[in-house]
């Protein structure tokens, strides 16, 4: 097991180097850079910019240096936590990233808990009582859920919130708390706003999670080892949890690592609709404005989180399934 952990941890390093190079190249690909897009904007406002100012700006962003140097500076800064300056938000990228990442993680984790809290019991019930009325009911509801885009759900939630409760539910904070320092009252305000994105984003995954669990569990339920355990006299509930369910949930462990990128790309539209201060909308803005430091840092952080997530799933899976541990 220890050898496996070490192997996996060191295996991450080349992957990350490769990804960072790719991200850097992709960000450089579109014609122009932050300076040209700034110039365009200034000129369209009728402002004159001297050639000297342009050169200064280029030097400030290291854009006058060869690409390799630019890459090394960028990734080197990234490693020590200096992610450069966001022209778009006129703040250091690191500040922006940690704040947005914090909110994104909170929303991701809470919506994941929401998803599992609904999908796992529903999936178990549906599988154990296959073809019962409740099974048909659950699978039908889930099918509708699967076909409903989450931005539509977000719009519906906003409409319902406005019509029924007369509250505007955009954002993560009420206006009076948005810029206030953290306090108990602000925390409560945050929690009262958190549940909408949690439900909207969580419901999207619920349908697929439930259907996968139902299918996995049905598969396992018909395996001979379940009959053997039943013939041994194991009590029904213990039997269900210890034998088929224990194996049916393994595939979910391996998806934990993929949750971050999936949620962030899925989250972007919902976040724009709900006005959430998360990574998705900021990433889109940064890419449009060619705010290279910001976009690069977001992408790089996502890559790191994804690779760490995969490591976590692999280790959990190895811990949960001896067949992998003893490969």
Partner 1 sequence: MVDNLLEIRDLAVEFGTDIGTTYALREVSFDVPRGKVTAIVGESGSGKSVTANCIMRLIQSPGRITGGQIHFSPNDVTAYDIAALPDKDPRLLDLRGGSVSMVFQEPMTALSPVYTVGNQVAEAILCHRKVSKEEALEEAADMLRLVGIDDVGRRIHQYPFEFSGGMRQRVVIAMALVCHPQLLICDEPTTALDVTIQAEILTLIRDLQKDLNNSVLFITHDLGVVAQMADQVVVMYQGRVLEVGSVRQVLKTPVHPYTRGLLAAIPGLATKGERLATIASVVGDADLITPHPLVTLADGRQVSLPSDQLAALELANG
Rounded CA separation 56/144 (Å)? 56
Stretch that binds partner 1, among 30-38, 74-82, 101-109, 232-240 (CB under 8 A): 232-240
Nearest to 75 by CA among 25, 6, 7: 25
Rg of the chain in Å (alpha carbons): 24
Judged by CB under 8 A, the residue of 81, 90, 224, 237 near partner 1 is: 224
CB closer to partner 1, 7 vs 235: 235
CB closer to partner 1, 178 vs 223: 223
Q: Is 304 in the site for partner 1 (CB under 8 A)?
A: no
Binding mask 46-65 for partner 1 (x = CB under 8 A): --------------------
Beta bridge partners of residue 46, listed in sequence order: none
Judged by CB under 8 A, the residue of 74, 243, 252, 293 near partner 1 is: 243
Stretch that binds partner 1, among 101-109, 181-189, 252-260, 319-327 (CB under 8 A): 319-327
Q: Is 133 in the site for partner 1 (CB under 8 A)?
A: no
Three-state SS for 85? strand
Residue 139 CB, nearest approach to partner 1 (Å): 18
Judged by CB under 8 A, the residue of 165, 182, 184, 326 near partner 1 is: 326
154 CA to centre of own chain: 17
Rounded CA separation 275/281 (Å)? 9
The DSSP letter of residue 166 is -
* Subset of 182-211 contacting partner 1 (CB under 8 A): none
Judged by CB under 8 A, the residue of 3, 79, 231, 237 near partner 1 is: 231
Q: Is 246 in the site for partner 1 (CB under 8 A)?
A: yes
Could you tell me where the DSSP H helices lie in the chain?
Answer: 2-28, 34-44, 51-60, 67-79, 93-128, 133-147, 150-165, 184-221, 224-231, 236-240, 246-248, 250-253, 256-274, 279-288, 292-320, 322-325
> Are 27 and 292 a contacting pair, CB within 8 Å?
yes
CB closer to partner 1, 183 vs 228: 228
Judged by CB under 8 A, the residue of 50, 52, 233, 237 near partner 1 is: 233
Residue 320 CB, nearest approach to partner 1 (Å): 7
Judged by CB under 8 A, the residue of 80, 144, 163, 235 near partner 1 is: 235
CB closer to partner 1, 41 vs 238: 238
CB closer to partner 1, 212 vs 324: 324
Three-state SS for 86? strand
Nearest to 206 by CA among 117, 309, 126, 107: 117
**Exposure pattern of 3-18 as b/e (b: 16+ CB <10 Å)?**
eeeeeeeeeeeeeeee
Q: Which residues bind partner 1 (CB under 8 A)?
A: 223-225, 227-235, 242-243, 246-247, 320-323, 326
């Amino acid at each position: 097991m220890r050898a496996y952990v070490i192997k996996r941890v060191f295996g991450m390093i080349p992957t990350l180097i490769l990804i960072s190079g790719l991200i850097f190249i992709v960000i450089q690909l579109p014609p122009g850079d932050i300076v040209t897009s700034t110039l365009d904007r200034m000129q369209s406002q009728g402002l004159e910019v001297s050639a000297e100012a342009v050169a200064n700006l280029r030097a400030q962003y290291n854009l006058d240096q060869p690409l390799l140097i630019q890459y090394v500076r960028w990734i080197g800064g990234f490693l020590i936590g200096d992610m450069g300056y966001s022209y778009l938000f006129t703040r250091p990228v690191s500040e922006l990233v940690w704040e947005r990442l914090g909110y994104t993680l909170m929303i991701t984790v809470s919506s994941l808990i929401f998803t599992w809290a609904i999908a796992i019991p529903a999936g178990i019930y549906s599988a154990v009582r296959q073809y019962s009325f409740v099974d048909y009911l659950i699978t039908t509801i889930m099918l509708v859920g699967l076909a409903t885009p989450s931005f539509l759900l977000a719009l519906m939630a906003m409409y319902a919130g406005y019509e029924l409760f007369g509250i505007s539910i955009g954002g993560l904070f009420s206006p009076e708390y948005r810029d206030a320092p953290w306090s108990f009252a602000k925390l409560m305000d945050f929690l009262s706003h958190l549940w909408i994105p949690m439900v909207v984003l969580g419901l999207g995954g619920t349908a697929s999670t439930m259907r996968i669990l139902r299918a996995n569990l049905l598969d396992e339920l018909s395996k001979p080892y379940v009959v053997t355990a039943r013939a041994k006299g194991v009590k029904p509930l213990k039997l269900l949890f210890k034998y088929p369910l224990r194996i049916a949930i393994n595939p979910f462990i391996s998806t934990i690592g993929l949750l971050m990128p999936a949620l962030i790309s899925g989250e972007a539209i919902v976040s724009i609709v709900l006005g959430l201060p998360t990574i998705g909308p900021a990433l889109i803005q940064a890419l449009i404005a060619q705010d290279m430091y910001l976009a690069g840092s977001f992408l790089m952080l996502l890559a790191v989180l994804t690779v760490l997530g995969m490591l976590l799933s692999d280790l959990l899976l190895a811990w949960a399934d001896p067949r992998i541990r003893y490969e």
